[in-house]
Amino acid sequence: MDYIPEHEAWARSTLAGLELDFVIGSMHLLRGLPIDFSPPKLEHLINICGGTESFLEEYFDRMAHVAESGWADVIGHLDIFKKFDADLRTFPPRVVMPYAEQFLDRLAALPAENRPVLEINTAGCDRACAEPFPSAAIAAAAHVRGIELTLGSDSHAPDQVGRHGREATELLASCGVKGLTYFLAGERLRFAL
C-alpha cells in the first residue's frame, strides 16, 4: 500500500476490509511527485524540496510515519530513491545514513510485537544502483537495532519471483543476520538463514 497522506483514511478503511497475509507500506510519491519514475522527475522533486538533504529528511520522516501508523507489517524498498543513482553521487551513503539511522531509531522505538519489519528488496540489483533496497549498511544498522528483516523480490512478472535471493541472503549473513521474518494469514513467523 502506497503512503499518500491525503488518502490515508481511505487506505486504512480499505485494508481493514481485506484478508491479507501482510501489508507492505511504501512510498512512490512525495509532494504528489514521483520518486522512482525517471531521473529528471526525481531531480525536479529534489529541487522542489530544497536539495538532497531536505528531500531525505522529508522522505524518511514520511516513512517513519508509515511505520508508526500501525497499518504496515513491512516497510518496503526503504531507499528506492537511489534507483537511478549508478555512482551514488546524488545519494552518497555518508549523506543518506544519518537520515536512515534516524528512521531506524524511530522504527526500533516501536513495540517489538507489532513493529513493522524491514524489507530487503532485491529489485534494486537490477536497477542502476545495482544493490538491494535498502543498502547493506542500512540493513546492518537495522539488524544492530533489533529490527527484523524480510526478503522481497518486488516481482512484476513470474520470472522475477525470488530474483537475487541467494545474493541477498549472503549479504545479510555478512551483516550478522541469522534469520528472516515472514507473514502468513497475518501471523509473524521466522526462519533461520
Cell numbers describing residue 172: 545479510
> How many independent structural domains does the chain possess?
1
Bridge partners (DSSP) listed for residue 180: 191
The boundaries of the domain holding residue 53 are 5-192
pLDDT at residue 37, as a whole number: 95
Q: Which residue in the block uniquely carries the three cell numbers 511527485?
A: 33
Q: What does DSSP say about strands 149-152 and 179-184: parallel, antiparallel, or unpaired?
A: unpaired
> Side chain identity at 67, as an amino acid letter?
A
pLDDT at residue 171, as a whole number: 87
Q: How far apart are CA 182 and CA 81, in angstroms?
A: 25
Task: Decide: 133 and 124 in contact? Cβ < 8 Å.
Answer: yes
CATH of the domain at 13: 3.20.20.140
pLDDT at residue 160, as a whole number: 86
- Rounded mean pLDDT for each run of 10 residues along the chain, 193 residues in total: 90 90 96 96 98 98 96 96 94 97 98 95 93 94 96 88 88 91 94 90
HSE at residue 52, side-chain half, CA atoms within 13 A, is 14
